[in-house]
Structure 1
Amino acid sequence: MIQWEGIMPAVTTKFTSEDELDLAMFEKNIKAQMDAGVHGIILGGSLGEASTLTKSEKETLIKATLEMVGGRIPVVMTIAEQSTKDAIFMAQQAEKAGAQGLMVLPPMRYKATDHETVVFFQSIANSTSLPIMIYNNPIDYKIEVTLDMMAELLKSDNIQAIKESTRDITNIIRLRNRFGDRLKVFTGVDTLGLESLVSGADGWVAGLVCAYPAETVAIYELVKAGRINEALEIYRWFMPLLELDISPQLVQNIKLAEVVTGIGTENVRAPRLQLQGKERERVLNIIETAMKSRPVLPEYKNIKSTV
């Protein structure tokens, strides 16, 4: 049973220079996430370069991550497929491999109607016993899961959470007002992380957490403890870095940050290429400037929540 709450990193997939899975560096990063106190791991999202992974690589990642976390936090697999048939197959494969939850994207490439989108999600939910988070990101995927659509989807007991990435902060309040605790709400936009938590989000599917796990978890724990000013101080420092997440090159940006913090490499899978020239210098300058003033964090673990 997943507790849909807290910081759940959408982790990057680590590759060797020979374009194979780099499980040693991946484990180093997962350990850093767990040491910081994250509440779950999400594999195979867009940040995880899922569209370039083979089915066997996805299975390897699930099994390896389960071994790394040792049951201490849940492992969630992302489902992002073009056809309902393939999505059902991947959901069932993820369940067989041991994943404890799914984050499901709407149909890829085809801009489905509202009805088609609902049926797509329902078909996947009916094919598995795993708890599901719906990913709502009309900015990038051109399909919006409206409140009325969500009401239909919640007739499926295992649809339990939403990753809310409309960029409309008030949508978190609308979701909470309409569905109460029946639906767990996560923000999926790094630059709206603190605002979303203050507005009542249960958690944050984060990106820059891949390089800065402690800072991300600290913001969450401080907000939940009502220590907003302390959280805001960290968040203000964090913002130039968080803005690296809202870019077509978010994978390269975040992997470069992971290099600087010592828990990743720049290796990406083609057609992505490592950042070059002036753009690499620009991103590196943002990261290095932030590192010079990296905050000393308060003791954020085991503080009492007021929420």
Structure 2
Amino acid sequence: MKIDWKGVMPAVTTKFNNDDTLDLKMFEVNIKAQLAAGVHGVILGGTLGEASTLSDDEKRILTRVTVNIVNNKIPVITNIAEQTTKGAILAAQKAKEDGASGLMILPPMRYKAGDRETIAYFKEVAKSTTLPIMVYNNPIDYKIEVTMDMFEELISLDNIQAVKESTRDISNVTRIKNRFADRLKILCGVDTLALESLLMGAHGWVAGLVDAFPKETVAIYELQKAGRIKEALKIYRWFLPLLELDINPKLVQNIKLAEVATGIGTENVRAPRLPLVGEERKKVVAIIEHGLKTRPKLPEYKNIALTS
């Protein structure tokens, strides 16, 4: 399936049963809620997906199950976060075998690669597959920045098509647009900068709180796209305290609590993560409960016409 690299693409959580096995029933409930809300793609195996704790078999099961659930309605994108180039190439091969439509690739894990090494890593993986690729640029969390000059080299390969922009520098959207126009599609990877990034020209939003609030997330995207900025802004302002739960070391636990509150997830996480307790839990629950009490009534946001 061709990927347009636009719209809302949830970085979905992985659901676990009480015995720490994959909870594929609740996983399907959540994916179907995302489809019903109108998301434009699904991303598996990111930080929110607890990918670093998943076995290779579990990753492959999740890809196959998701491909089956979405049934060609939207692309399924598999995240690759490996320590070696060889491992990343093998992961890309398996993702394609399992039916993924594209890849999101992080720089090498653990080793802080230099610019030349990072470029070589992305290029070798890209050359090994025909799947389209989104580079995940998050120097805050992963300590490696993919600079404009580095992207200049990377886009010599046709299947390197997009960037998940998570530098936290909103002006980077304009830098990318000025340098590459639409050759490099931009998807905001920071929930609390999403509307700002879209208004500056980003093509989409790799979202986190969408896992619990899919309709509100897609509504913001569709309304701003149609030029109905005031309506989008009203929802976004309501959403911000919830979105801030994503910009936190406990983002997985936070968002899973929110999924429970909206009926499309479970709280179970995989060790070494543990569910929230005490004051930390009370604060998160209070934010979620306030969000639910003040949840806005959404306008009809699907298939809305562009304003002149």
* Fold equivalence (TM over 0.5): yes
Separation of aligned partners in 2, 1:176 and 1:206: 21
Separation of aligned partners in 2, 1:17 and 1:179: 47
Report the CA distance shift for 1:79/1:306 in structure 2 as closer, same or farther (over 3 A).
farther
2:53 aligned with 1:52? yes
2:199 aligned with 1:181? no
* TM-score normalised per structure 1: 0.99
Structure 1: any 5+ residue segments left out of the alignment? none
In structure 2, the residue matched to 1:156 is 157
Q: Give the match's secondary structure for 1:254.
A: helix
Identity %: 68
Amino acid at match of 2:142: Y
In structure 2, the residue matched to 1:93 is 94
Residues 224, 306 of structure 1: 8 Å contact kept: no
In structure 2, the residue matched to 1:223 is 224
In structure 2, the residue matched to 1:125 is 126
Q: Give the match's secondary structure for 2:121.
A: helix
Separation of aligned partners in 1, 2:4 and 2:168: 24
Separation of aligned partners in 2, 1:193 and 1:58: 28
Separation of aligned partners in 2, 1:32 and 1:6: 16
The residue correspondences of 1:257-272 to structure 2 (distance < 5 A) are 257-272=258-273
Q: Give the match's secondary structure for 1:181.
A: coil
In structure 2, the residue matched to 1:139 is 140
How far has the Cα of 1:304 moved from its partner?
A: 1.9
In structure 2, the residue matched to 1:103 is 104
Amino acid at match of 2:172: N
Separation of aligned partners in 1, 2:261 and 2:16: 17
In structure 1, the residue matched to 2:280 is 279
How far has the Cα of 1:246 moved from its partner?
A: 0.4
How far has the Cα of 1:306 moved from its partner?
A: 5.5
How far has the Cα of 1:30 moved from its partner?
A: 0.3
Residues 59, 94 of structure 1: 8 Å contact kept: yes
Q: Give the match's secondary structure for 1:291.
A: helix
Amino acid at match of 1:41: V
Residues 257, 267 of structure 2: 8 Å contact kept: yes
Structure 2: any 5+ residue segments left out of the alignment? none
Separation of aligned partners in 2, 1:49 and 1:305: 38
In structure 2, the residue matched to 1:170 is 171
Deviations 1:1-32 (A, max 9, x none): 11110000000000000000101000000000
Count of residue correspondences? 307
Q: Give the match's secondary structure for 2:296.
A: coil
In structure 2, the residue matched to 1:211 is 212
Deviations 1:182-213 (A, max 9, x none): 11100000000100000000000000000000
Separation of aligned partners in 2, 1:79 and 1:304: 36
How far has the Cα of 1:305 moved from its partner?
A: 3.5
